[in-house]
Structure 1
Amino acid sequence: MTPATRTGLSLFAALALMAMELAPANAQDAYGGYWGGGDVMLVTPEGDILDYIPGEAEVHAMRDRRGRTVLVDPWGNIVATVVPNDGYGRGQRRREYGRDGYPEPRDRGYGYSEPGEFTGAIPEYRDIAPAPVEREDLPNSLPSLSDREEAAYDPQYDDPLAQPMPPAMTVTGKSRAEIAALQVFLDREGFSPGVIDGKMGSNVTKAIEAWQQATGETLDPNNTEDILERLRFNGGLPITTYTITAADAAGPFVASIPEDYAHKAQLPHLSFTSVTEMLGEKFHMDEAYLRELNPGVDFSIPGTTIKVVNPGPNKKGKVARIVADKARKQVLAYDEAGKLIAAYPSTIGSSDTPSPSGTVHVERIAFDPGYTYNPKINFQQGANDRILQLQPGPNGPVGTVWIALSKPTYGIHGTPEPSKIGKTQSHGCVRLTNWDATELGKMVSTGVTVEFVD
């Protein structure tokens, strides 16, 4: 049996947004209005509190059938739900919010098939699907959003080799395990979905589009048997077992990572804070998803066998050109022949500290770098007004890799918060997960061009 391909013409998940029971829109419910003068927060489908207001080019405000305001990206994926600020505020890193933006039931635990039993009939996991949304703009929904009609995303590069990305098919009715298998396939192919968490989102959609661009094939993400067959020829089953070693349990670990850079500078190493954080990064997994696969497991005990994602080896190749696409929030890597060989979700700049424009080049690559904070040339962090030296480690400001660019203070680097890649903002640099930055860092060399496109 050879991997099958499918043809799809879906744009912005249009099929998923059709024929739904929707409540009528009411301008009074708009962001900052119904909730009492802006006493609200934006909660992502993963339950994180969004720490910025997306720009008009990033999202449109819609209304779901419960009458709530939701922000939807150009691919039809929900970026955030507008919910009342109940006192947890932006400082709360994670709250028990479900995929629809409201409090989620306690995890009841569930099993996973053993590796030898993993077939096309993947067991269903608890998965609260995003509430359906109405494909109509809300008037005055967000101060930064316009009322123009949403158009097909059509990135254009100043390069004759560049082509608009083939749109990905809409994913419908898939379990957490099936989506995780899709994420593992894309990760092994070098088209990263970011953290593997068994959840569909814009990072996965972008990875599918880039894979289709690179291969010329159409990937049907709803065809689980095809995905599993492809995995069989490219590293095996998506879930495997791993036995925690004494070295894993020993660390070194730190109790916590402080926010203030002056306090960070006092730590001897910006290490992981737990075995689960270390294992999550080792296997490209969301830490919460690792716990869900192994309910009740004490990860600190050596000899414990757990279920983990099997991401496979790093992509290999020689990158000759990098495109940092600000609109897609994606880094695209091309070889000398102009072929797209890898793609990574990224966080690229912010409105306050925008990333560069035009073309620069790679000046040097550093693995496990330290970090020098200089408020006069970097950015203002807290009340710190002097130069600080931060030690290396995965929880450092630039993670485990620093790819320095020819524009001073700018680079492509890792991050201590991989689950936020593509969802928050950076201080002008290009931020990837640590494992994606490591993979890219091993494929680039000094002199490689990096093009920033809007």
Structure 2
Amino acid sequence: MLSRVIAACSLSLAALLSAGPVSAIELPLPAPGDDIVGQVQVIKAKYEDTFADLGEKYGLGYSEMIAANPGVDAWLPGVGTEVIIPTRFVLPAGPREGVVINLAEYRLYYFPKDKSVVYTYALGIGREGWGSPVGSTSVIAKTKDPAWYPPASIRAEHAADGDPLPTVVPPGPDNPLGPYKMSLGFHGYLIHGSNKKFGIGTRTSHGCFRMYNWDVTQLFSMIPVGTKVRIINEPYKFGRSEGKIYLEAHAPIDDNGDPSVVDKHTAVINALLKREDIASQMQMDWNVVREVVAAEDGLPVAIAQPQQVQQGGSVAATVDQEAMPLQ
């Protein structure tokens, strides 16, 4: 599986990032009809490296690093160990405008109106019992150096754990909102910085979206009030690049227990049906699809080549016939 991913990618670091962690991942949009941006990178770990530090350096969250590197010790990879830096992405399906947050990726995409680029950032999202919302909204306000007014429910939770909170936390290093917040139309939900870097890329918040502080600083400077925000929860993303079809799979987020094989099968087929332009023109290698779904490593993998569609054959019929090997 890894060889297929790496063979399709250049391993140039300079093309993706400039001066370390103060720079977000900024990538040119692909040609019309294509959906993939960025490149997978492979580095050799140094003695002091951890996945948390490497994620911070390359604009990735902790879960992304874990998923892309199964079997590698997250806290002591070991000198010389090859570590995958998963900085290649299938863009979310749908309009490339405003902000798109995909919960299953722990990732935010921002498509500015005046540039043919996409900015993408790692996120911390709502933990079990405090899930982040799904739907369409907008940025309704922006605040620099915000104070935090913990809701009564959160104060009660902390008090029960022996960690009482004040009614207001002023701006500063102890403020969990970080240096900036952007309020969403969903009441009580924010995009904001954080005083706990380790929470980026995990389910750790009370529903809000946490960012590295240098990332939220950049996003805050670019994004105007009124920007559309679309929040999705799509673990399976299909995309086209240079005539091939790719699948990027993540572990589904489900507060009701781990999804079954049947649930995943249905989710994959539903994701493919949303891309009728792909499903109607491609011969899927369903053995590879099954491997990608099982791996859930977030790495885009080629799963299909163009084909001639039989006259009169529907997309749904083609998908249903070919999908059986996933079960």
TM-score by length of 2: 0.46
Between Structure 1 and Structure 2, the one with more strand by share is 2
Q: Which has the greater radius of gyration?
A: 1
Between Structure 1 and Structure 2, the one with more helix by share is 2
Q: Which has the higher contact order (CA 8 A, sep 6+)?
A: 2
